[in-house]
């Protein structure tokens, strides 16, 4: 347990454990990808993960193009139906392999929407890399090719993820217990 600004946080994944996993994920991607790869990071939650992942990719020997997309889901809704683009990528992905990077795969609605969008624009393939997988909450028919950790069924913060805009800066991932 760690106390941050008066809140008690149960550390689930340490900075060291995350780093080891990020390096492993980069090697996994570099095993088949080359410099034609476009990394699309989903804002805001994935920005820390994506920043570390692309630097790990450098060590693994690939130099991807990096893009950002900001998406918003409204309500429970139907699969993919309620996701909106708040800020789009700049690159033309037609004919190029894409790695879609997000912090957590939960219902899968957001990433299913983003994947379909990029495929509709002619992406050669769209693979998913997520740091955390919250299995058991899936609503869309989607799985990630690259997964860091299975996530316990609780709300987590840190390493880019927030609760009410707080705790994105934490170098570890934890659960606020009180």
105 contact, one of Mg ion, ligand IMP, none, CB 5-8 Å limit per kind = ligand IMP
- 30 vs 104 by CB, closer to ligand IMP: 104
Which parts of 103-122 interact with ligand IMP (CB under 6 A)? 103-111
**Alpha-carbon span 25 to 14, nearest angstrom:** 16
Residue 158 is a binding residue for Mg ion (CB under 5 A): no
Here's the x/- map for ligand IMP, 21-60, by CB under 6 A: it reads as ------------------------x---------------
Measured from the CB of residue 3, what is the shortest distance to Mg ion in angstroms?
26
Residue 73 is a binding residue for ligand IMP (CB under 6 A): yes
Read off the tokens for 61. Answer: 């020997």
- 57 vs 112 by CB, closer to ligand IMP: 112
161 contact, one of Mg ion, ligand IMP, none, CB 5-8 Å limit per kind = ligand IMP
The number of angstroms, rounded, from the C-alpha of 116 to the middle of its chain's C-alpha atoms is 16
Here's the x/- map for ligand IMP, 82-101, by CB under 6 A: it reads as --------------------
**Alpha-carbon span 4 to 23, nearest angstrom:** 27
Residues that bind Mg ion (CB under 5 A): 45
What are the residues binding ligand IMP (CB under 6 A)? Answer: 45, 73, 102-111, 155-156, 161
């Amino acid at each position: 347990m760690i106390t941050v600004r008066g809140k008690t946080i149960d550390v689930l994944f340490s900075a060291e454990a995350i780093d080891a996993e990020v390096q492993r994920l980069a090697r996994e991607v570099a095993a088949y990808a080359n410099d034609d790869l476009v990394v699309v990071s989903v804002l805001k939650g994935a920005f820390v993960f994506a920043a570390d992942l692309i630097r790990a990719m450098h060590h693994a020997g690939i130099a991807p193009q990096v893009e950002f997309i900001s998406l918003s889901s409204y309500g429970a809704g139907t699969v993919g139906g309620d996701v909106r683009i708040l800020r789009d990528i700049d690159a033309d992905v037609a004919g190029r392999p894409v790695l879609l990077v997000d912090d957590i795969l939960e219902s899968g609605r957001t990433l299913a929407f983003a994947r379909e969008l990029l495929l509709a624009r002619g992406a050669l393939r769209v693979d998913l890399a997520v740091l955390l997988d919250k299995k058991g909450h899936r609503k869309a028919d989607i799985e990630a090719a690259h997964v860091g950790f299975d996530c316990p069924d609780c709300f987590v913060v840190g390493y880019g993820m927030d609760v009410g805009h707080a705790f994105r800066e934490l170098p570890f991932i934890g659960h606020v217990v009180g």
